């Protein structure tokens, strides 16, 4: 049984089939990239997994558990974190509190305890902070701890979003175009981080990406999509040389 | 200038970042404790209203400022607290009991209002809360067996530990001050723990909040309940202070006053709620002053500039008519809101920060310090 599995996943908006009977599996500890032209349904698949959309049909399994009916917040509690294509950070909060929100799924304190800020809450807060600091160190975010998001440049925000997802200590992370809007150097950093996430933190990665350099560098396997359907699946070179993929990108 | 070197995670958690805060808030507390024995009874009475308004301001701040859910129904929550107290008092229920019951009941009502509010955003939520406030106002006027309708209810002096506490006594002022301080400390505690961060997360991006494992519906309802409960507690004190309550005291205008408290206070800060409360309470005596003295003054100036006595008298009459016109208060509120939104969006607290920074950096202060620039504007958001 696979670690994560999507079975015949479909999402229809009226007559438009954004995702059409897509099936794939992710093995534990691998980096799987989803590629495809604009509008191929890549981000829609992510939104289906994280339950922003509900699938028209099909099922999603994680660790042999059917999570198709799980509410959006429940997905994160199971250990699936995600980033967004158009950065969704908490704009008017500091970097630190953004990252601490990432710890939410691990918070155990009750409202009345928090109102009194009992020693137990204080201890929890410090424990959360310790984990957040590890992520800050991992992603070199030390200079930004107390800065407001609204004053930070795009590239840094992108990293902070990744950091927030990592703070929740996910088992599976969904990266929606991690390199979009980044320069060559930043994309290089990103590829190291993604590899380290797999090797050091043991996180399984599912990634949507356009930048083929990044895909080449990090992916174990690749899925190519077009018009909501799977065109090809396999190693990077296999998929890149698949006639249907070449046709989809270059037209033939 | 002071530079803080953080050496412990505790440094980011504690309420007072350094000894300067302890000193200034300590001084403020001493002044507030001494106040009733020094100030005139009128000013102490105003201070009580400041405490009550600031408490409601903090409550509204939790809901609107931190969770991002606008409400124009807080006068209704205040009314529910006040009427619960007045009703229970008839049956000789002791103060601590009806104080708690009023707060809890208002909290439950707040949660019930929160449920339909889950599906509403922005202006629609404002309309929904206004309707809620009208419903409550109407119920208070019609449910005569409990609320005595438009006759209103008399509230007896507060009984605590066998002694009667008059609404003008320093003890009553201390009680209101204590409630305000407890509310502020509780809110600060909330803000440095997961619940408070969840509120802020919901305000800034519901989608991201959800994907981080926050049960958005649950936390919105929690925010409504907490905000309403605090307002309910304030309502009990409000009822005691006024010693008489009737439905027409809890109108839309009062809800708007609460919005002004946080808007003029500004910057989504608790300081702002207190400053805004001072502003809104002190504007009333100012308007009275305008009504009583201003016409005479203007006429005097006109006479000095060479207007005839008949002309001066005419000016005095028309200014007086203008100053005592119905709805002038509402109009002034409107103008104030517009001016603040346009010229001082960070509110009174923002202005205070600027003045403070000016003296800290003197003579190097630059006006651009507080200029916010938008580096990246979002193109599209998931809802």
Residue from the list A73, A86, A109 with its beta carbon closest to the beta carbon of B213: A73
CB contact under 8 A, B213 and A76: yes
pLDDT for res B287: 77
CB contact under 8 A, B204 and A153: no
pLDDT digits (tens, 9 = 90+) for B1-26: 677 788 888 778 888 878 888 888 99
Residues in chain A with CB shorter than 8 Å from the CB of B9 are 125-126, 129-130, 133
Cβ pair B137, B79 in contact under 8 A = yes
Chain B interface, best mutation among A39, A81, A90, A127, by max B CB count within 10 A: A90
Residue from the list B216, B222, B378 with its beta carbon closest to the beta carbon of A86: B378
Q: Which residues contact B223 (CB under 8 A, 6 or more apart)?
A: B62, B63, B66, B67, B69, B114, B199, B202
CB contact under 8 A, A117 and B193: yes
pLDDT for res A107: 86
Residue B59 contacts A, CB cutoff 8 Å:
no
CB contact under 8 A, B213 and A91: no
Give B165's strand partners: B158
CB contact under 8 A, A102 and B207: no
Bond preceding residue B363 cis, omega within 30 of 0: yes
Alpha helix ranges (H) inside chain B: 10-13, 19-38, 41-60, 74-89, 95-117, 122-142, 144-147, 170-191, 194-204, 206-211, 216-242, 252-265, 270-304, 309-323, 328-343, 347-361
pLDDT digits (tens, 9 = 90+) for A206-246: 999 988 889 999 999 999 988 888 888 998 888 888 888 88
pLDDT digits (tens, 9 = 90+) for B155-185: 887 777 778 777 888 888 999 999 999 999 9
With H, G, I as helix, E, B as strand and everything else as coil, classify residue A66. Answer: strand
Residue from the list A86, A104, A168 with its beta carbon closest to the beta carbon of B198: A104
CA-based nearest distance A139→chain B, Å: 19
Cα atoms in the 13 Å half-sphere on the side-chain side of B11: 8
More confident residue, B2 or B302: B302
A181: left (phi over 0), alpha (psi -120 to 50) or beta: left
Mean pLDDT for B282-295 is: 79
The yes-or-no verdict on residue B383 having pLDDT over 50 is no
What gap in Å lies between CA B270 and CA B58, rounded to an integer?
A: 6
Residue B181 contacts A, CB cutoff 8 Å:
no
pLDDT for res B1: 62
Q: Which residues contact B225 (CB under 8 A, 6 or more apart)?
A: B107, B108, B110, B111, B114
Of residues B87, B79, B75, B237, the one with CA closest to residue B167 = B237
CA-based nearest distance B124→chain A, Å: 22
More confident residue, B322 or A31: A31
CA-based nearest distance B194→chain A, Å: 6
The yes-or-no verdict on residue A25 having pLDDT over 60 is yes
Of residues B276, B235, B282, the one with CA closest to residue B84 = B235
* DSSP per residue, A83-139: --TT----TTSBHHHHHHHHGGGG----HHHHHHT-HHHHHHHHHHHHHHHHHHHHT
What gap in Å lies between CA B236 and CA B78, rounded to an integer?
A: 8
Res. B59 pLDDT band, cuts 50 70 90: very high
What gap in Å lies between CA B314 and CA B320, rounded to an integer?
A: 10
Res. A252 pLDDT band, cuts 50 70 90: low
Residue from the list A105, A125, A168 with its beta carbon closest to the beta carbon of B13: A125
Determine the residue of chain A that is closest to B204 in CA distance: A90
Cβ pair B61, B270 in contact under 8 A = yes
CA-based nearest distance A134→chain B, Å: 13
Residues in chain A with CB shorter than 8 Å from the CB of B183 are none
Give B76's strand partners: none
Report ipTM for this prediction: 0.90
pLDDT for res B78: 93
Res. B379 pLDDT band, cuts 50 70 90: very low
Residue B195 contacts A, CB cutoff 8 Å:
yes
pLDDT digits (tens, 9 = 90+) for B359-375: 888 777 777 766 665 55
- How far is the CA of A44 from the CAs of A18, A49, A51, B132, B277, in angstroms? 7, 9, 10, 38, 48
Tokens of B86: 């007045």
Give the least confident one: A5-14, A21-30, A66-75, B265-274: B265-274
More confident residue, B231 or B260: B231
Residue from the list B192, B200, B382 with its beta carbon closest to the beta carbon of A93: B200
CB contact under 8 A, A91 and B204: yes
pTM above 0.90, yes or no: no
Mean pLDDT for A145-166 is: 89
pLDDT, mean over chain A: 89
Most confident of A83-87, B79-83, B203-207, B296-300: B79-83
Cβ pair B88, B97 in contact under 8 A = yes
């Amino acid at each position: 049984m696979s670690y994560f599995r999507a079975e015949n996943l479909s999402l229809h908006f009226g007559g438009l089939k954004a995702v059409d009977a897509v099936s794939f599996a992710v093995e534990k500890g691998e980096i799987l990239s989803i590629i495809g032209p604009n509008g191929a349904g890549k981000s829609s698949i992510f939104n289906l997994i994280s339950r922003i959309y509900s699938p028209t049909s099909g099922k999603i399994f994680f660790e042999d558990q059917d999570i198709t009916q799980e509410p959006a917040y429940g997905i994160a509690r199971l250990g699936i974190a995600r980033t967004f294509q158009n950065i969704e950070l908490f704009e008017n909060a500091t970097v630190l509190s953004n990252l601490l929100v990432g710890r939410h799924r691990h918070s155990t304190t009750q409202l009345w305890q928090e109102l009194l800020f009992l020693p137990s809450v204080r201890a929890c807060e410090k424990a959360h902070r310790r984990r957040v600091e590890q992520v800050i160190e991992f992603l070199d975010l030390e200079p930004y701890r107390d800065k407001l998001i609204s004053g930070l440049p795009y590239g840094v925000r992108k990293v902070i979003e990744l950091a927030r997802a990592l703070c929740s200590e996910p088992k599976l992370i969904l990266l929606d175009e991690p390199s979009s809007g980044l320069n060559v150097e930043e994309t290089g950093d990103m590829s190291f981080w993604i590899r380290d996430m797999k090797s050091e933190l043991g996180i399984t990665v599912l990634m949507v990406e356009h930048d083929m350099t990044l895909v080449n560098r990090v992916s174990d396997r690749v899925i190519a999509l077009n018009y909501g359907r799977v065109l090809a699946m396999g190693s990077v070179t296999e998929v890149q040389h698949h006639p249907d993929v070449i046709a989809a990108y270059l037209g033939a | 200038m002071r530079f803080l070197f953080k050496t412990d995670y505790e440094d980011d958690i504690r309420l007072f970042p350094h000894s300067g805060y302890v000193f200034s808030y300590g001084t403020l507390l001493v002044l507030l404790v001494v106040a009733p024995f020094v100030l005139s009874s009128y000013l102490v009475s105003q201070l009580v209203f400041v405490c009550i308004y600031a408490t409601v301001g903090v409550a509204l701040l939790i809901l609107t400022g931190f969770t991002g859910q606008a409400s124009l129904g807080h006068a209704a929550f205040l009314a529910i607290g006040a009427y619960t107290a007045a009703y229970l008092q008839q049956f000789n229920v002791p103060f601590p009991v009806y104080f708690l019951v009023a707060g809890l009941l208002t909290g439950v009502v707040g949660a019930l209002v929160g449920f339909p509010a889950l599906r509403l955003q922005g202006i629609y939520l404002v309309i929904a809360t206004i309707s809620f406030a009208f419903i409550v106002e109407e119920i208070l006027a019609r449910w005569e067996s409990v609320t005595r309708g438009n006759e209103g209810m008399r509230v007896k002096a507060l009984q605590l530990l066998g002694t009667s506490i008059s609404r003008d006594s320093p003890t009553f002022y201390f009680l209101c001050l204590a409630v305000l301080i407890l509310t502020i400390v509780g809110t600060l505690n909330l803000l440095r723990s997961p619940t408070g961060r969840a509120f802020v997360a919901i305000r800034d991006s519901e989608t991201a909040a959800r994907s981080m494992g926050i049960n958005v519906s649950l936390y919105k309802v929690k925010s409504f309940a907490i905000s309403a409960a605090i307002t309910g507690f304030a309502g009990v004190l409000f009822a005691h202070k006024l010693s008489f309550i009737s439905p027409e005291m809890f109108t839309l205008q009062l809800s708007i006053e609460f919005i002004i408290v946080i808007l003029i206070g500004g910057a989504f800060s608790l300081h702002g709620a207190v400053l805004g409360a001072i502003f809104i309470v002190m504007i009333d005596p100012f308007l009275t002053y305008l009504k009583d003295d201003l016409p005479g003054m203007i006429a005097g100036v006109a006479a000095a500039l060479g207007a005839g006595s008949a002309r001066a008298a005419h000016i005095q009459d028309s200014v007086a008519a203008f100053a005592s016109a119905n709805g002038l208060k509402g109009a002034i509120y409107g103008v104030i809101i517009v001016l603040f939104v346009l010229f001082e969006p960070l509110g009174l607290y923002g202005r205070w920060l600027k003045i403070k920074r000016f003296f800290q950096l003197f003579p190097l202060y630059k006006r651009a310090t507080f200029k916010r620039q938008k580096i990246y504007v979002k193109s599209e958001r998931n809802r």
